[in-house]
Amino acid sequence: MAKTLDTASDSKYRDLYAASMATPAAFWAEAANAVSWTRKPRRVLDDSDPPFYRWFPDGELNTCANALDRHVDGGRGEQTALIYDSPVTGTQRAYTYRELLDETARFAGALRKLGVGTGDRVVIYMPMIPEAVVAMLACARLGAVHSVVFGGFAPHELATRIDDARPAVVVSASCGIEPSRIVEYKPMLDAALDVAKHPPRNCVIVQRERHRCDLTPGRDLDWHQLIGHASPVAAVPVPATAPLYVLYTSGTTGKPKGIVRDNGGHAVALLWSIRYIYDIEPGDVFWAASDVGWVVGHSYIVYGPLLAGATTVLYEGKPIGTPDPGAFWRMASEHGVKALFSAPTALRAIRKEDPDGIHISRYDLSQLRCLFQAGERLDPDTYAWAVEKLGIPVIDHWWQTETGWAIAANPMGLQPLPIKAGSPTVPMPGYDVRILRVDGSGCEPGEEGAICIKLPLPPGTLPTLWDDDVRYEASYLCEHPGYYLTGDGGYIDEDGYLFVMGRIDDVINVAGHRLSTGAIEEVLATHPAVAECAVIGIADEIKGQVPRGLVVLKAGAAAEGLTDELVQLVRDEIGAVACLRQVDVVAALPKTRSGKILRKTMRGIAHGKDEPIPSTIEDAGVLHTIKAILQPKPPPRQGIS
């Protein structure tokens, strides 16, 4: 068992965390000194309109200038800012801070010529190419609000986000490139714009050599032609409370939920976290093996490392198959990566292909100091394998799209703490984490409950939802007034370590991507043969969780071939990211007498739990049938030779 935090050797963390709780304004005012302000804030926290708290309300800055200009002005212009490595195209390219600034300033000039200004929205629907980073930074330079949509989303998902953001411009590319196929982006974009109620004036398209697309006259513009005729523009100062970006949470087929990130609090929080959590200083190489379409890509591919003056890595590839399970270790070795951040899904895939770590031994990983894991639960077996094979600290930490940076972590740049497998360690400064019972009372150490955070949330977290304050309160703040409901359950042990046990709602985590089972149900329900349906998350060795569907057919509907149709329907409407592969046809779904489907009970059965039959169930026989379908099958018995 790890030692408790109540020791002199843990005083750095304890003192810093205590200061952030006792005097948050003073704590974050000091942290804000790391940011270059065009008008330094005199007021740290505006708490006049709870629960809508705003950090640095009278401050002014530009996030792009903090990420690029100040490093060039400070003499780091020739340092590498961005390394692009694409094994799927056989391409590598490095950008210095000066080169990245020039490209960004010119694309910002191109956007301005298209009428994009402060507060306008720009939707970015792109693969993992440098132009995606440039587009994000160019929006920040103008004070425009970018909204990046993951390239794996289908036209319907893209259209709902376009309609909610109402962008002036969409920036996209002709295609994405997978190890075994070309993913044509332009037809998906065109299909989305055909059904969108608020299409943009223009689309800017990066034509990739592997596959070029036809442009729509009068609407579509070629990136390279546009930027070639553009003049660079200076960074536009904006209020610290102005939105930097909107990032829509995954998996809803209704009105999407846009997480808002402001400029000031975001810059302060990311600069603090990249230094004290990840131990990254100017000149260090940091690699977040994620996608710019997710929050990790926003925080730690693009903004965090660049704000710190570090070198960031943009990887267009997979953990396996590009070309082998040594891809991550090749990247770390070639580029001198100091800290690597990935999802446990990636490690599980690598381990499955290379259980003995043979590919790890092929590379010099002497510069790799830490492996950070987040996005889903890091299971003990994968943790132990990584520690044994890599011989470095493997750091689990926990955060959300909504928070933008870690709620709980091990502060490697401040004071590494003892590691407990299964725990993301301890709450970070500013996060007053509480475990609450249903009645709102606090849990005892070791007692499971809802993980909540006492308001106000620290800088860098969401101040609200895009154009929807009411939904922000309803989604996060009403369950326990005065607290932010994380949606996860867990406990804090006697040493102050947090353990996150899983979601308390119907959101599942597929390879680090949060997807609503309700959204998948909505898609299944549109099939003419389906009378009703339920989707639950089940454990998966590689992806952590995957959805599994149960459908009841309409009278006279045929089941033959239906599973394939339903899987394809979800793929078309939500995208391959949903990973729905199994749909079972059942006679009925287990329900309460009031008609509520027993999803929680079915989840328990699928995870091998001996779920009792609820007293409220309408038909116990239905549940027995479902048990036979969902209960994990024991491995086949081995014969004796």
CA distance 333 to 288: 15
Confidence of residue 3 (pLDDT cuts 50, 70, 90): very low
CA distance 533 to 589: 8
**Taking each helix axis from N to C terminus, what angle separates 24-31 and 11-22, rounded to the nearest 10 degrees?**
110
pLDDT higher than threshold 90 for residue 522: no
> Judging by DSSP bridges, how do beta strands 121-125 and 145-148 pair with one another?
parallel
Instruction: Please tell me whether residue 43 adopts helix, strand or coil conformation.
Output: coil
Q: What is the pTM of this model?
A: 0.86
CA distance 315 to 331: 9
> Judging by DSSP bridges, how do beta strands 182-184 and 175-177 pair with one another?
antiparallel
Q: What is the pLDDT of residues 238-274, one digit of tens each?
A: 999 999 999 998 543 357 899 999 999 999 999 999 9
Confidence of residue 127 (pLDDT cuts 50, 70, 90): very high
Q: Averaged over 158-175, what is the pLDDT?
A: 97
Number of other residues whose CB lies within 10 A of the CB of residue 107 = 26
Of 553, 583, 586, residue with least CA distance to 570: 583
Q: Averaged over 529-558, what is the pLDDT?
A: 88
Say what the pLDDT of residue 254 is: 58
Beta bridge partners of 514: 509
pLDDT higher than threshold 50 for residue 640: no
Q: Tell me the C-alpha to C-alpha distance, in Å, between residue 336 and each of 183, 511, 579.
A: 31, 26, 34
Name all domains of the chain by residue range, CATH numbers in brackets: 507-630 (3.30.300.30)
CA distance 477 to 481: 6
**Helices marked H in 435-488:** 469-472
Q: Which residues contact 541 (CB under 8 A, 6 or more apart)?
A: 348, 352
Contacts 24+ apart (CB under 8 A), 38-45: 38/62, 38/237, 39/237, 41/240, 41/264, 45/456
E strand map for 41-117: 45-46, 54-55, 60-61, 80-86, 91-96
CA distance 325 to 569: 32
- Written as six digits, the tokens of 348 are 């599980």
Q: What is the pLDDT of residues 496-513, one digit of tens each?
A: 999 998 777 667 778 777
Say what the pLDDT of residue 557 is: 86
- Written as six digits, the tokens of 477 are 């703040």
Gyration radius of the chain's alpha carbons:
24
Beta bridge partners of 169: 122, 202
